[in-house]
C-alpha cells in the first residue's frame, strides 16, 4: 500500500452561488507526480488553492498524513510549510533579492539560522540553475528565471509536496523549456508533485498519474496512457481533441 500524503474527500467549493468544485475525491501518494488537466474554468486552480487553504473549502475534508486539516484547531501555518506552492505569476517577493526570497521563509517561519537558511537556499538555487543570481532583484530577471527562483523558494522550505499552478503559462515560449526541465529533474529526483498544466506532452512524460477535471468534477484519472492516449470518457476525448488541435 502506498503512503498517501494528501487525501481529499468530498471537497466542495462555491463562490457565492457559483459551485466551482463538486464532490472532489482524490489523493496524492508519496513520491508520486500527478498532473491535473482540464479546460479553462474547470476549477483546477481553485482545487490547488483549496489544498493549501488560499481558498477556504465550503465542505469536505483535506487529510494530510492522516489528519483533517480543516479541523478548527489545526495549525494552518505549519501545514502550509509542508506544501511548496509555485504560482503562474511567480509572485517573488519584490523587495528581496534572489537569495533572500529563498531564505526569508526558512528564517521567519521555520526559525532556521541565517547560515543554515542560506546554505539550503543555495543548494536549491543550484538545482534550478540560478545560484549565480543570488544578488539580483526579481525585476532584473526574465520570466523563466523568476519561475526557477520561485521553485527554489518553495523547495527551500523542504516541503512534502510541491504544488504547481500552470508554472509555464505566463512565460514566453522560449522560456518554457528551462522551467519544464527543472521540473522534470525534480520529478526524477523523487519529489511528490501535483501539477496543473496545459503542457500535454510534458504531462505524458513526467506524470505517474493524470487527473482530468471538467466543470468542477474529476471526470477521469489514471496513468498517462489511460487518460491521454485511451480516454474512456467523451468529455476527456473532446478536451484532448481541442487541445491537440491548437
Partner 1 sequence: MSLDIILSILEENWRSFLNGAYMTLLIAIISTIIGALIGLFIGIMHTIPVRKKSIKSVILKVFNFILTVYVEIFRGTPMIVQAMVVFYGLAAYGVQLDRFIAAIIVVGLNTGAYMAEYVRGGIVSIDKGQYEAAEAIGMGHFQTMTSVILPQVFRNILPATGNQLIMNIKDSAVLSVISVTELFFTSTSIAGANFRFAETFFITCIFYLIMTFVASRILRMIEKKMDGQNAYSVESKREEPIV
Ligand X SMILES: Nc1ncnc2c1ncn2[C@@H]1O[C@H](COP(=O)(O)OP(=O)(O)OP(=O)(O)O)[C@@H](O)[C@H]1O
**Using CB under 8 A as the criterion, which residues of the chain lie in contact with partner 1 when the complex forms?**
52, 54, 77-78, 80-81, 83-85, 87, 89-97, 104-105, 108-110, 126-129, 131-137, 140, 150, 153-154, 157, 178, 181-182, 185
Decide which of partner 1, ligand X, Mg ion, none touches 15; Cβ closer than 5 to 8 Å per partner kind: ligand X
Q: Which CB, 45 or 147, lies closer to ligand X?
A: 45
| Residue 227 DSSP class | I
Of 11, 26, 35, 45, the residue at the interface with Mg ion (CB under 5 A) is: 45
Q: Shortest distance, CB of residue 46 to ligand X, whole angstroms?
A: 3
Q: How many other C-beta atoms lie within 10 A of the C-beta of residue 150?
A: 27
Q: Shortest distance, CB of residue 106 to ligand X, whole angstroms?
A: 29
Q: Shortest distance, CB of residue 59 to partner 1, whole angstroms?
A: 18
| Residue 110 DSSP class | S
Q: With helix as H, strand as E and coil as C, how does 3-53 read?
A: CEEEEEEEEEEEECCEEEEEEEEEEEECCCEEEEEECCCCCHHHHHHHHCC
Q: Could you give the CA distance from residue 164 to residue 238 in angstroms, rounded to a whole number?
A: 25
- Please choose, out of 43-51, 91-99, 216-224, 225-233, the segment that lies near Mg ion by the rule CB under 5 A: 43-51
Residues of this chain that interact with Mg ion (CB under 5 A) are 45
Amino acid at each position: 500500500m502506498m503512503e498517501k500524503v494528501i487525501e481529499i474527500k468530498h471537497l466542495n467549493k462555491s463562490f457565492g452561488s457559483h459551485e466551482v468544485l463538486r464532490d472532489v475525491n482524490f489523493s496524492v501518494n508519496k513520491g508520486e507526480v500527478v498532473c491535473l488537466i482540464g479546460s479553462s474554468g474547470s476549477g483546477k486552480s481553485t482545487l490547488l488553492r483549496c489544498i493549501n487553504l488560499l481558498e477556504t473549502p465550503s465542505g469536505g475534508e483535506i487529510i494530510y498524513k492522516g489528519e483533517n486539516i480543516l479541523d478548527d484547531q489545526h495549525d494552518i501555518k505549519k501545514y502550509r510549510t509542508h506544501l511548496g506552492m509555485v504560482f503562474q505569476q511567480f509572485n517573488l517577493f519584490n523587495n528581496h533579492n534572489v537569495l533572500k526570497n529563498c531564505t526569508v521563509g526558512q528564517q521567519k517561519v521555520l526559525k532556521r539560522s541565517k547560515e543554515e537558511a542560506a546554505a539550503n537556499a543555495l543548494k536549491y538555487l543550484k538545482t534550478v540553475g540560478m545560484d549565480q543570481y543570488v544578488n539580483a532583484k526579481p525585476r532584473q530577471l526574465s520570466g523563466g528565471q523568476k519561475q526557477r527562483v520561485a521553485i527554489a523558494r518553495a523547495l527551500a522550505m523542504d516541503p512534502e509536496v510541491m504544488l504547481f499552478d500552470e508554472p509555464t503559462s505566463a512565460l514566453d515560449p522560449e522560456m518554457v523549456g528551462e522551467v519544464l526541465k527543472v521540473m522534470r529533474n525534480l520529478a526524477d529526483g523523487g519529489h511528490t508533485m501535483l501539477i496543473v498544466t496545459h503542457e500535454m506532452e510534458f504531462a505524458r512524460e513526467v506524470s505517474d498519474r493524470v487527473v482530468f477535471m471538467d466543470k468542477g468534477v474529476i471526470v477521469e484519472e489514471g496513468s498517462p496512457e489511460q487518460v491521454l492516449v485511451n480516454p474512456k470518457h467523451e468529455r476527456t476525448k473532446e478536451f484532448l481533441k481541442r487541445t491537440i488541435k491548437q
